[in-house]
Amino acid sequence: MIEVSRFWRDPALPFVEARRVGDGRQVCYAAHSHESFSIGAITGGRSTYLSGDSRIEVSAGTTVLMNPGVVHTCNPIEGEAWSYLMLFVDVAWLQRLGFQLPAQVVSTSPALYSALLQVFADLFDENLRDREARLAAFFQRLSSVLGGEPGAPKPDHPRLEAAAAFIRAHRTDPLDLEDICQACGLSRAYLIRAFRQRFGLTPHDYLLDQRVQCARTTAPGQFDCRRGPGSGLRRPGAPAACLQAAFGCDAGALSQQVNRAAHQQ
């Protein structure tokens, strides 16, 4: 039987996590973001990949890249079977390597795809003593493999960027829409419309997404979504719904998988 989903984490490598999804039809997401830099390999089937303003059909052999904070989603096409591997890497660790965030969101380079599969194989091999060095070498070469100048796109609307930054800074506070409007100097109607166009989420859903990220990193090794910070949520059931949307499973299943991964090493 195909394993639907598994998280991987090793205390010896606390700056990286992995997820293997064997049947993506059973692990679907709403738009969400990550605090980490994420890179993944599509290992089977096809999917529709939305990242920022980009909408791309990806298939086996494709590499997808997600910069921190970029709203994205990746779901199967018409119920077709598909599978993938995802890597989530701490940005501070990458910065110490001199890594720059790429502008690309997808690559069809066979060389990159093959190198990424080898990264996963190395990470999952507990007998290797130089796993961190191998991972570092991959990211130090990534820019040259991708080609072009690295660097995330520059913000195109300072007030919307200010609104998003305010939400991130106050994600555990009981925020109202009016608080965000005052912080960025935009009207309620314009903020809701323009924020969704820019980030792919309404301000409220962006706040929920940020709270999910905060809850996920609150207690590494003792992860429990249901105890995450959540003051100020106005919509009953919103935390549970957001967790399901962001991780493709409910709080209990996610807690069980991550805790199991943390204690397997």
What beta strand segments (E) does 143-194 contain? none
Question: Residue 106 domain-assigned?
Answer: yes
What are the tokens at 113? Answer: 């795809």
Strands 72-76 and 82-89: unpaired
In this structure, are 34 and 124 located in the same domain? yes
Is residue 190 scored above 60 in pLDDT? Answer: yes
In this structure, are 82 and 203 located in the same domain? no
In this structure, are 213 and 120 located in the same domain? no
Domains held by the chain: number = 2
Instruction: Note the pLDDT of residue 243.
Output: 52
Instruction: Note the pLDDT of residue 79.
Output: 74
Question: Residue 102 domain-assigned?
Answer: yes
pLDDT classification of 68: cutoffs 50, 70, 90: confident
In this structure, are 139 and 51 located in the same domain? yes
In this structure, are 20 and 132 located in the same domain? yes
In this structure, are 62 and 191 located in the same domain? no
| pTM of the entire predicted model | 0.68
Question: Residue 249 domain-assigned?
Answer: yes
Question: Residue 178 domain-assigned?
Answer: yes
State residue 17 phi and psi, 5-degree precision. Answer: -130, 160
Question: Residue 153 domain-assigned?
Answer: no
CA 131, CA 15: separation in Å to the nearest integer?
12
The CATH number covering residue 112 comes to: 2.60.120.280
Last residue of a domain, one of 102, 118, 146: 146
Question: Residue 69 domain-assigned?
Answer: yes
In this structure, are 22 and 127 located in the same domain? yes
In this structure, are 51 and 124 located in the same domain? yes
pLDDT classification of 181: cutoffs 50, 70, 90: very high
In this structure, are 141 and 164 located in the same domain? no
Question: Residue 219 domain-assigned?
Answer: yes
pLDDT classification of 3: cutoffs 50, 70, 90: low
pLDDT, tens digit (0-9, with 9 covering 90-100), for 133-166? 999 999 999 988 887 644 445 557 889 989 988 9
pLDDT, tens digit (0-9, with 9 covering 90-100), for 206-236? 888 888 777 765 544 443 333 333 333 344 4
Instruction: Note the pLDDT of residue 75.
Output: 76
Question: Residue 152 domain-assigned?
Answer: no
Domain that holds residue 27: 5-146
For residues 66 and 51, the answer to whether their CB atoms sit within 8 Å is yes
In this structure, are 202 and 244 located in the same domain? yes
Nearest to 46 by CA among 66, 75, 71, 73: 75
The CATH number covering residue 226 comes to: 1.10.10.60
For residues 117 and 111, the answer to whether their CB atoms sit within 8 Å is no
Summarize the confidence of residues 28-45 as an average pLDDT. Answer: 86
In this structure, are 80 and 123 located in the same domain? yes
| One-letter amino acid for residue 139 of the chain | F
In this structure, are 115 and 82 located in the same domain? yes
